[in-house]
Amino acid sequence: MTATPRPVPSPDAVAFLHDPTRPDTSWFGQSLESLRKRHAEEFVWARGEPAPVAGIEQVDAAGVPARLYRPSGAENVTLVWFHGGGWVIGDVDCHDELCRALAADSGCAVLSVEYRRAPEHRYPAAIDDSWTATAWAHEHFDRIAVGGDSAGGNLAAAVAHRARDRGLPLELQLLVYPVTDARADSAPYRAFETHYTGFAGIDGFGTDSHDVIRDIWEQYVPDPARRAERDASPLRAATFAGLAPAFVVLAEHDILRGEGEEYAARLRAAGVPVEVAHYPGQIHGFYPMVGRMADARDAVARSAGALHAALRQRRGLVRGAVRVVGAVTDPRPAGNTP
List the alpha helices (DSSP H) in the chain. Answer: 11-18, 32-46, 96-106, 125-140, 151-166, 187-195, 205-220, 257-269, 294-307
Residues in Cβ contact with 282 at an 8 Å cutoff, skipping those fewer than 6 apart: 9, 10, 12, 13, 251, 252, 253, 254, 293, 295
> Annotated catalytic, 284?
yes
Return the number of other C-beta atoms located less than 10 Å from residue 77's C-beta: 21
Distance separating alpha carbons of residues 175 and 239, to the nearest angstrom:
18
Q: Which of 83, 210, 278, 284 is catalytic?
A: 284
Assess whether pLDDT exceeds 60 at residue 23: yes
pLDDT for 63 beyond 50? yes
Known active-site residue 209: no
Choice among 254, 278, 295, 303 that is catalytic: 254
User: What's the mean pLDDT in 232-259?
Assistant: 98
Question: Edge-to-edge, what's the strand order for the sheet holding 173-176?
Answer: 55-61, 64-70, 109-113, 77-82, 143-149, 173-176, 246-253, 274-283, 322-325
Q: Are strands 173-176 and 143-149 parallel, antiparallel or unpaired?
A: parallel
pTM for this predicted structure? 0.94
Q: Which of 10, 112, 130, 150 does the annotation list as catalytic?
A: 150
Q: Tally Cβ neighbours within 10 Å of residue 313.
A: 9
Q: Does domain 11-325 correspond to CATH entry 3.10.105.10?
A: no
Q: Let me know how long the chain is.
A: 338
Instruction: Write the pLDDT tens digit of every residue in 2-15.
Output: 556 889 999 999 99
Work out the average pLDDT over 166-191. 95
Q: What percent of the chain has pLDDT over 90?
A: 89
* Every domain of the chain and the residues it spans: 11-325
3 state DSSP class of 324: strand
pLDDT, tens digit, 9 for 90 and up, residues 126-171: 999 999 999 999 999 999 999 999 999 999 999 999 999 999 999 9
Nearest-angstrom CA–CA distance, 126 and 135: 14
How far is residue 10 from each of residues 46, 62, 68, 208, 280, measured CA to CA in Å? 17, 42, 34, 20, 7
Whether 150 is a known active-site residue: answer: yes
CA angle 138–144–146, rounded 5-degree value: 110
